[in-house]
Amino acid sequence: MMGGSRRGDGGAMPIYPTGSWVNPGTRPDGSAVAGAGRIRIRPGDRFDRHHHDGEELWHISAGAALIEIEGERCRVNAGDIVLFPAGVPHDIVAVSEELVGFFTELQTPGGATGHQHSDPADAEGHPVAALAPLED
């Protein structure tokens, strides 16, 4: 689905309605944003360990997750912002009932866009586990 365009104070402003993503085929010419959109992941959904040629930024708006960055696991919660440097492998291991957020992937000149896999087996993905509640 292509983004629309609405007139704003600065001229035409691309609008991407719910369910659509910014990607190399829909972004404005000259944009460094390789991809952007909403994410929603529930236990049992599939996700893949991957990296990007450019940086990726996540904003967690609801829920919680156990993520893995370069082999180290940490918990992220609603309100957190996570910055993955270019080339750094990352993964979602487990999520609360539902993880909701927004991602932005930046493109580097000459770099590929989307999920990149150092190990081809990672491209198959894995089921995301249910996140155990925090103990008091």
Condensed to tens digits (0 to 9), the pLDDT of residues 88-123 reads 999 999 999 999 999 999 999 999 999 999 999 999
Backbone angles phi, psi at 125, to 5 degrees: 75, -175
Say what the pLDDT of residue 7 is: 42
CB atoms within 10 A of CB 31: 14
What pLDDT, in 10s, does the model give residues 21-35?
898 888 888 888 999
The two tokens of residue 71 are: 């082999």
Domain boundaries, the chain: 36-130
CB atoms within 10 A of CB 56: 22
Asked if residues 100 and 40 have their Cβ atoms less than 8 Å apart, the reply is yes
Closest C-alpha to 35, from 23, 25, 27: 23
Amino acid at 113: T
Superfamily of domain 36-130: Jelly Rolls (2.60.120.10)
Residue identified by tokens 């586990």 is 129
For the entire predicted model, the pTM comes to: 0.82
Say what the pLDDT of residue 8 is: 44
Closest C-alpha to 14, from 30, 33, 29, 28: 28
